[in-house]
Structure 1
């Protein structure tokens, strides 16, 4: 499918590896100019080199920590300075440490909130003026645990709900100029989980009987940025091989 995204510009947060990187790759292959972001300069450089091998648009790396408000401001400014516009914001973040509730301390909750929620709040706030100019999109990558909580991962199950609620509110407040959607990943092959057996994953819970390839999620991100999804906003879309048992 030709997505007609050539000449667009995107900022993909936390995209030096994993699902963020796959999202940047799919957008770049579709002709989008992309700012790729990560905290580790070496890993970021490697990601940029790899993405450029298949990109039809420009790919530029920008080091930044998503818990640092100044870094977020600089990321948005860099996107506009480099490409002259910002059409698409994609937010992502690595998962917090897996804890049960009784294992957590206050600092764990504050850090998880800052990383998973405030990074989105700040990035959206900085991006809105630019996205409004072009009729842009915001796509947030969260987790399937927002619909089916995991007692072994209380921080992600609790805190990521804020992003989903925020996205729903924004889809109304920013309409019709900006569309806002959320993706809920299930189990994927990423640097955090190379192998279902190593990760102790029971694929009997996944009707498609496999883990997802990161590219499969990235292609959905590109679709949500395109005009083919022009009547889709405020949605929370599981991409999990059918693992969720929730009907809502």
Structure 2
């Protein structure tokens, strides 16, 4: 066994390097052509109905403005009602013809169904569902005194997306719509002190990869895995091991989305 390990230690780096040299250039060229094709034949979002969870700040907020600038109608949901209304007002100014807000907690199944029901009641259809809502808890695993308090991370980051998707799926089938899932590079490039956050994003990645196969071409799925991104949690706000919202001035302006 030791001889095999020594052999692999000598040969594996060599074959890995030349394998990358052989496969990487064609892959980069393919992605370049794919990006050009996507730009030329991009979807016309004018009048499409888009539901975005966690839209009061961060990536969800920026996505709301991006969709609005392309003429999409928006259903925005988050926990912070006042902040959500501010985002909705800016989205209208940017170009969205119709914006509705739903104050809700995606960790609750009933709220997820209500989000979709109110969207359908207002617009009569749903074209895109953007599962973006997420929270984190920052602590070494051994420092969690009450492990059950970490459930909120999985309830929001994973189950919130699952609940909302299940409620929205019949309407997305009707419109041949799209699900956008905000996972994270933390799903495969883990960082210490964020074990439950990393696990929730990995669960999202695997669940929606499976759902992509099950749905076939009826509903399209896009899974986004951004790296370090500047947003609110990165500016000193996070949930502690005790489950409390903490404002830490020592936390710098980068974090995982």
- Shared fold (TM-score, shorter chain, > 0.5): yes
Equivalent residue for 2:93, pick from 53, 74, 78: 53
Decide which structure has greater helix share. 2
Larger Rg: 2
Query: Paired residue for 2:196?
Result: 155
Match in the other structure for 2:117: 77
Structure 1 residue runs of 5 or longer lacking an equivalent are 202-210, 213-238, 241-248
Q: Is structure 2 residue 170 aligned with structure 1 residue 129?
A: yes
Q: TM-score, normalised by structure 2?
A: 0.73
C-alpha contact 1:66 1:72 (8 A) present in aligned 2: yes
1:111 corresponds, among 128, 152, 158, to 152
Matched-pair contact (CA < 8 Å) for 2:73–2:99: yes
3-state secondary structure, aligned to 2:94: coil
Q: What is the DSSP-based 3-state SS (H/G/I as helix, E as strand, rest coil) of the residue aligned with 1:160?
A: helix
When the two structures are superposed, what TM-score results if normalisation uses the length of structure 1?
Answer: 0.76
Q: CA deviation at 1:198?
A: 5.9
Task: Note the alpha carbon deviations across 1:99-158, whole angstroms, 9 max, x for none.
Answer: 211122322332211111110111110011000001011011121111101112111111
Distance 1:40 1:200 in 2: 23
Change (3 A) 1:139 1:128: same
The aligned length equals 204
Which residue pairs with 1:204 in the alignment? none
- Residue 80 of structure 2 corresponds to 40
State the SS of the aligned residue for 1:185.
coil
Structure of greater relative contact order (alpha carbons < 8 Å, 6+ residues apart): 1
1:62 matched to 2:94: no
Structure 1 stretches of 4+ moved >3 Å: 197-201
What is the distance in 2 between the residues matched to 1:33 and 1:166?
28
